[in-house]
A and B are shown apart, each in its own frame.
Chain A
Amino acid sequence: EAGVVQSPRYKIIEKKQPVAFWCNPISGHNTLYWYLQNLGQGPELLIRYENEEAVDDSQLPKDRFSAERLKGVDSTLKIQPAELGDSAVYLCASSLDARDEQFFGPGTRLTVL
């Protein structure tokens, strides 16, 4: 069984540029999560989807971050414009439903110069 797929694995951009991350969850997983992980810290939830619906986006900085999961399968997280402080690893995870363990992708390491 394929795991959670994320691309790109690494991204380097200059500040004020836009950037997008893509995630394909495990087949059949209805719940999808985006996390931000700063160096030396635990992941922090940005947004959680149940199928197509964003059910928890309270931690998403909506002035510059946006996300979508149009068909309830893969998802895209966008930052526009990026700031220096956005440098981090962006993790995607999925689960069968909200009560089950989450399976994480390898993450995208973003560096903003």
Chain B
Amino acid sequence: AQSVAQPEDQVNVAEGNPLTVKCTYSVSGNPYLFWYVQYPNRGLQFLLKYITGDNLVKGSYGFEAEFNKSQTSFHLKKPSALVSDSALYFCAVSLDNTGKLIFGQGTTLQVKP
């Protein structure tokens, strides 16, 4: 069965420091991997996706993610965190072209000034 794990409930970083939000996945075929961000009382916003090709994917708001097939990971990164990046981040996986997203439990990112 497909699954996604976000091992950290919360990540705390200082503004200006690099950030990493971790995600590992388990699928039996070719994964489509996504990151979404959710601000309070709002829907999810798409950040980036990996389908095929270059393992380093660049997305919105300066975020990027690295696909690592051997470690089955898709960690979200940003070189320099902003206070406005504070939000709830979700990793998700779908199998090939099914469109059925399986979401992780979410990681709260807190960026302090």
Name A residues whose Cβ lies closer than 8 Å to a Cβ of B. 4, 31, 33, 40-45, 48, 56, 91, 93, 95, 97-99, 101-107
List B residues 37-58 near A (Cβ within 8 Å): 41-46, 49, 51
Which residues of B line the A interface, CB within 8 A? Answer: 4, 32, 34, 36, 41-46, 49, 51, 90, 92, 97-101, 103-106
Shortest Cβ-Cβ A-B pairs, 7 listed: A98-B99, A42-B103, A104-B43, A104-B44, A99-B97, A101-B46, A106-B43
Partner of A99, one of B32, B43, B46: B32
Interface of A is mostly: loop
- Is the Cβ of B103 less than 8 Å from the Cβ of A56? no
Asked whether A91 lies within 8 Å of B99 as measured between CB atoms, the reply is no
Contacts of A44 in B (CB 8 A): 103
Min CB distance, A53 to chain B, in Å? 13
B51 / chain A contacts, CB cutoff of 8 Å: 99
How many Å from the CB of A58 to the closest CB on chain B?
9
**Distance from A23 Cβ to chain B, minimum over Cβ atoms (Å):** 11
Q: What residues on A are CB-neighbors of B90 within 8 Å?
A: 42-43
Cβ–Cβ < 8 Å partners of B103 in chain A: 42-44
A-B pairs with beta carbons under 8 Å apart, 17 shown: A4-B43, A31-B99, A33-B101, A43-B90, A43-B101, A48-B99, A48-B100, A56-B100, A95-B99, A97-B99, A98-B98, A98-B99, A103-B46, A104-B43, A104-B44, A104-B45, A106-B43
A21 to B106, CA, bound (A): 25
Q: Which residues of A contact B41 (CB under 8 A)?
A: 106
Query: Which residues of chain A are within 8 angstroms of B45 by Cβ–Cβ distance?
Result: 104
Are A101 and B43 within 8 A (Cβ)? Answer: no
Evaluate contact between B97 and A98: CB separation under 8 angstroms. yes
A67 to chain B, nearest CB (A): 16
A106 touches B106 (CB 8 A): no
A4 to B106, CA, bound (A): 22
* A41 & B43 in contact (Cβ 8 Å cutoff): no
Residues of B within 8 A of A106 (CB): 41-43
